[in-house]
Amino acid sequence: MSKSHEWQRLCGGKAFEVAWRIPLIAWQAVFFIGPLLFMIIISFFLVKNYRMIEAFEFVNWFKMLQRATFWDSFGYTLLLASLSTVLVSIIAFPASYGLAFRVSSEGRRWAIFLLIVPFFTSYLVRIFSWYVVLAEAGPLNAVFGFIGLGPYTMLNTAFGSVVGYMTLTLPLVIILQTISLSNIDRRCIEAAYNLGCGVVRVILEVIVPMARTGLIVAALFCFILSFGDFVSPYYLGGSKPPTLPILIIDTTKSGQQWPRAAVIAVMMMLTLFSIAFSAIWYAYRKRVAS
Give the DSSP per-residue string, 18-66. HHHHHHHHHHHIIIIIHHHHHHHHHTT-EEETTEEE----SHHHHHHHT
Note whether residue 144 is domain-resident.
yes
| Residue 207 domain flag | yes
pLDDT of residue 21: 76
Q: What's residue 242's pLDDT?
A: 93
**pTM (2 d.p.):** 0.88
Calculate the CA dihedral of residues 263, 269, 272, 276 and round it to 10 degrees: -150
Q: What pLDDT sits at residue 165?
A: 96
Contact present, 210 and 185 (Cβ < 8 Å): yes
Instruction: Round to whole Å and give the CA distance between 51 and 162.
Output: 37
Domain membership of residue 171 (yes or no) is: yes
- For residue 281, the one-letter residue type is W
What is the pLDDT tens value at each position of the chain, 290 positions in all?
555 555 455 455 566 676 777 887 888 778 888 888 989 999 999 888 778 888 888 999 999 999 999 999 999 999 999 999 999 999 999 999 999 998 988 999 999 999 999 888 889 899 999 999 999 888 999 998 889 887 889 999 999 999 999 999 999 999 999 999 998 988 988 898 888 888 899 999 999 999 999 999 999 999 999 999 999 999 999 888 899 999 999 998 877 889 999 999 999 999 999 999 999 999 888 754 43
| CA 137 distance to own-chain centroid | 32
Closest CA to 165 of 113, 271, 92: 92
Whether 223 is covered by a domain: the verdict is: yes
Q: Write 128-135 long-range contacts (CB < 8 A, 24+).
A: 128/235, 130/160, 130/163, 130/164, 130/167, 130/236, 131/155, 131/235, 131/236, 134/160, 134/163, 134/236
Distances (CA, A) of 15 to 11, 18, 44: 6, 5, 40
CATH at residue 235: 1.10.3720.10
pLDDT at 9: 54
Domain range for 205 is: 66-284
Whether 231 maps to a domain, the answer reads yes
Tell me whether residue 11 is in a domain. Answer: no
Per the domain annotation, does 4 fall within a domain? no
Cα separation, 173 vs 98, in Å, equals 14
Q: Is residue 60 part of a domain?
A: no
User: How many structural domains is the chain composed of?
Assistant: 1
- The reported pLDDT for the residue numbered 35 is 86
